């Protein structure tokens, strides 16, 4: 069921979203060669709790940690580990969710570790921009498929791909609500957007083919062809004439 949030609910969602934005901004200074993803997780959890929020992901369907940390060829859902150490030239996607006053915020960002190849920088730039291409379609009266189509056509024009298994989603009192927000689809298809709908838009992009597999830990999703991946996400509220990002700081 798709829910329309009240003004009061949207104010609360902005508070949860601000915590996520704070974490994704502050964590960047720690993203350096030599740090483990488990250390990043501990730092992020401390930041989330310092704002009176709790990590949305911890315990979600048994996920053991507070953030997802996905390095290089990993698309999403990486479990933080003391053995996963960042190296110069890596890229790392951090997905963060915070729960505050009964509502969730959810956003993701892919960071460069030190200096990275131009090839991978382009992947980051295109994936980030594809999120904004999708956002341009967000306003009351448009359809979810308009967002999907905008993301897909932009990403594919660079020769990259989007696995269809992973989508954006509605967000609110639950982290994952209806509707699904696919990254691949036809303009004019799926649900019509209404003011007050809150959705998380999250292009997950491979440099190579869109085929992926899940690791034996049951979480980490990697490319089958070894190509690298990037992931950018914002939670937003649909307005009559556009949108407002919820996962931002005031």
Cβ distance to Mg ion smaller for residue 90 or 233: 233
Give the total of residues touching Mg ion (CB under 5 A).
5
Closest distance between Mg ion and the C-beta of residue 112, in Å?
A: 19
Q: Give the nearer residue to Mg ion in terms of CB position, either 170 or 185.
A: 170
Q: Is 200 in the site for Mg ion (CB under 5 A)?
A: yes
* Chain centroid offset of residue 159 CA: 21
Of the two residues 85 and 221, which places its CB atom closer to Mg ion in the complex? Answer: 221
Q: Note whether 22 and 39 are within 8 A (CB).
A: no
Q: Residue 108 or 150: which CB sits closer to Mg ion? A: 108
Q: Which is nearer to Mg ion, 193 or 198 (CB)?
A: 198
Helix spans in the chain (H): 7-26, 37-50, 118-135, 144-156
Q: How far is the CB of 106 from Mg ion (least distance, A)?
A: 4
Q: Is 192 helix (H, G, I), strand (E, B) or coil?
A: strand
Select from 52-60, 72-80, 198-206, 241-249 the region that touches Mg ion (CB under 5 A). 198-206
Measuring CA to CA, which residue among 166, 139, 124, 141 is closest to residue 236? Answer: 139
Candidate segments 46-54, 128-136, 181-189, 233-241, binder of Mg ion by CB under 5 A: 233-241
The partner residues of 243 in beta bridges, in order of sequence, read: 238
CA 41 – CA 178 distance, rounded (Å):
28
Question: Shortest distance, CB of residue 159 to Mg ion, whole angstroms?
Answer: 25
Q: Which is nearer to Mg ion, 157 or 178 (CB)?
A: 178
Query: Which range touches Mg ion (CB under 5 A), out of 18-26, 28-36, 157-165, 194-202?
Result: 194-202
Least CB distance to Mg ion at residue 67 (A): 9
The least distance separating Mg ion from the CB of residue 235, rounded to whole angstroms, comes to 8
The span of 6-14, 46-54, 193-201, 221-229 binding Mg ion (CB under 5 A) equals 193-201
Strands (E) in the chain, as ranges, are: 54-55, 67-71, 74-76, 91-100, 103-112, 168-170, 177-181, 198-201, 204-206, 212-214, 221-223, 229-231, 234-239, 242-245
Integer angstrom CA distances of residue 181 from 65, 137, 168, 169, 213: 25, 12, 4, 5, 21
Residues 54-113 that bind Mg ion (CB under 5 A): 95, 106, 108
User: Residues in the site for Mg ion, rule: CB under 5 A?
Assistant: 95, 106, 108, 200, 233
């Amino acid at each position: 069921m798709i829910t329309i949030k009240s003004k009061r609910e949207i104010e609360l969602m902005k508070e949860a979203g601000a915590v996520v934005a704070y974490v994704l901004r502050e964590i960047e200074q720690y993203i350096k060669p030599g740090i483990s993803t488990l250390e990043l997780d501990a730092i992020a959890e401390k930041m989330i709790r310092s704002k009176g929020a709790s990590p949305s992901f911890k315990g979600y369907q048994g996920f053991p940690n507070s953030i997802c940390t996905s390095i290089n060829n990993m698309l999403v859902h990486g479990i933080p580990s003391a053995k996963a150490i960042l190296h110069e030239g890596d890229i790392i996607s951090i997905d963060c969710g915070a729960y505050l006053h009964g509502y969730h915020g959810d956003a993701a960002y892919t960071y460069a570790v030190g200096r990275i190849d131009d090839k991978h920088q382009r992947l980051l730039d295109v994936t980030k921009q594809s999120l904004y291409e999708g956002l341009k379609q967000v306003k009351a009266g448009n359809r979810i498929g308009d967002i999907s189509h905008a993301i897909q056509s932009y990403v594919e024009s660079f020769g990259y791909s989007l696995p269809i298994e992973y989508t954006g989603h509605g967000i609110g009192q639950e982290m994952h609500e209806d509707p699904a927000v696919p990254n691949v689809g036809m303009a004019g298809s799926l649900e019509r957007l209404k003011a007050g709908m809150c959705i998380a838009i999250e292009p997950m992009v491979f440099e190579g083919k869109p085929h992926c597999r899940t690791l034996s830990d049951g979480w980490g999703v990697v490319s089958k062809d070894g190509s690298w991946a990037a992931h950018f996400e914002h939670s937003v509220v649909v307005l009559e004439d556009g949108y407002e990002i919820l996962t931002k700081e005031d």
